[in-house]
Amino acid sequence: MIYVGGVRYAPDSSQGMDALNALMKHPALVYASNTFQSIPERKISADESCSSEVSRSCKWVYLFQREFATVDPALVDLVGTDEATTCVGVVIRNRENRMISVAHMDFPDVVDIGLCQMLSLLSDHDPDSLLDVHLVGGFDDISSQYSDHSTKCRTEFEGYSYPLCAKIIESLSNRSEKFDIRTLHVLGHNTRWNSEGIACPIFHGFVVETNSGSLVPASFQRTSRCPDEIVRSIRVTAWFEDPNWAGRLLETYDTETDCYVIAPCAWTIWQSRSALSRQYLSDTEILLMCSSSPSAEGPDFVDDIRRKWDYLIRHPDWRETFPSKKARVFQRNADGSWVKL
C-alpha cells in the first residue's frame, strides 16, 4: 500500500502507469522533489569525514547497478549509489529501528523479488507502522520525441526509465506493507535539457545519512566505489547468464558483520573473447553498444567499460578470481578502508 505524508493514497487505477502519473503530480511529492533538487550534490571521496564532536572517518556502503544492501546505522554512516541514468535508486527505511535498505534497480524484472529481498533484512516491524520510501533516478529518456515534452502519448513499452518506475509503483501498491513515499525524484522531475535539446538526468546518484535517514544528491569518486570495484562491475553482466540470479538483486554486503561478501561469479570464455574483440572500439561505439542512454552517461562510463574488458582479457578463467569457488570477502579497517581476507 502506498501512503503520501502519512495518508493512504488510493489512485483511480491500479495500473502502475496511471498511479505513477498521478503521484508525479501530487503536491507534496512535487514539493519534495523541488526541495531535493535544490540541495547541492555531495561528492564522496576516499578521505570523507563525518561531522561529530571528534572528527572521524565516515563508514559507507556503495552499491553498483543491480546490487542492494541493508545497513545498520550503528555500523554505517552513509549508504548510496550513483552512475544511474535509466536506473532507479530505491530506499526503504524502517522508522522503528532505523535500518535502511537501498537498491540500484535496472530493469522491471528485478522489482518484485528485489523488494522481497530488501524487506526481508529490515527486521520485523509493526504492520501498522509506515516504512519511508525514496525513489531517485531515471529521466525522460523518450521525452525528446515529443515537442511538448508531455507524457500523454506514451505507452508502457517506451524508453527504459518509465517502465521501471511504473513497475516499482505498481509493486509497492500491491504489497501489504505500508510505504510512505517521501521522495519521487524520477522521470520529468529528474530531467534537464542540454544545449542540443537532449534530455539528461539532473542527478545520477544519492547518499543516505543513516543516523537521520535524510537523503541528498551525491556522486562518488572512483576510489570510493570500493571494495572490489572491477569484479563487482563484471558480475553485473555475467549474472545474466546465471539462471540462479534471474529476477534477483545481487547480494554484496553482509549486514551483521559489516563485510562485503562477493559470491563466486562465473564468466564464460565468450565474454573474454568478446572483450578482446571490442577493446579497440572508439568511445562513441562503446557508448552506443553498451549504454541504454548513450548521451546521458557520466564521465567514467567508457573508461570503466575498458577497464572491465581489460580484466576479462587478463583473467579469462573466472576461477583465477574465485579460487576453489570461494567468495571474495572484504573486512573494514578502523579507518574505513577495506582489506581482502
Buried/exposed code over 156-182 (b: 16+ C-beta within 10 A; e: otherwise): eeebbbbbbbbbbbbbbbebebbbbbb
List the grid coordinates of 268: 564464460
What is the CATH classification number for the domain harbouring 175? 3.30.1330.200
pLDDT digits (tens, 9 = 90+) for 256-300: 999 999 999 888 888 889 999 999 999 999 999 998 888 889 888
The sign one gets for the Cα dihedral 251, 256, 259, 263 is negative
Q: What is the pLDDT of residue 49?
A: 62
Q: What is the pLDDT of residue 149?
A: 41
Q: What is the pLDDT of residue 282?
A: 95
| Residue 276: alpha-carbon gap to chain centroid | 29
Residues in CB range of 36: below 8 A, 6 or more apart: 136, 183, 185, 215, 216, 217
- The secondary structure of residue 82, as a DSSP letter, is -
Residues in CB range of 50: below 8 A, 6 or more apart: 56, 57, 58, 77, 78
Q: What is the pLDDT of residue 153?
A: 45
Q: What is the pLDDT of residue 336?
A: 80
d(CA 105, CA 262): 18
- Contact (CB, 8 A) for 204 and 89: no
d(CA 198, CA 249): 31
Q: Which residue, among 38, 57, 91, has the nearest Cα to 210 in the 3D structure?
A: 91
User: Helix, strand, coil: what percent of the chain each, to 5?
Assistant: 35, 25, 40
pLDDT digits (tens, 9 = 90+) for 216-230: 999 999 989 999 999
- Contact (CB, 8 A) for 91 and 129: no
* Residue numbers of the domain that contains 240: 2-340
Q: What is the pLDDT of residue 144?
A: 43
List the grid coordinates of 195: 544545449
Instruction: Tell me which of 178 and 54 has the higher pLDDT.
Output: 178
d(CA 250, CA 263): 9
**pLDDT exceeds cutoff 80 at 134:** yes
pTM here?
0.91
pLDDT digits (tens, 9 = 90+) for 196-211: 888 999 999 999 999 9
pLDDT band at 53 (very low <50, low <70, confident <90, very high): very low
pLDDT digits (tens, 9 = 90+) for 84-100: 999 999 999 999 999 99
Q: What is the pLDDT of residue 56?
A: 56
- Kindly state the percentage of the chain with pLDDT values over 70: 91
Q: What is the pLDDT of residue 143?
A: 55
List the grid coordinates of 273: 573473447
d(CA 243, CA 229): 23
Q: Which residue, among 127, 123, 125, 158, has the nearest Cα to 140 in the 3D structure?
A: 158
Q: What is the pLDDT of residue 194?
A: 84
d(CA 11, CA 19): 6
Q: How many domains does the chain have?
A: 1
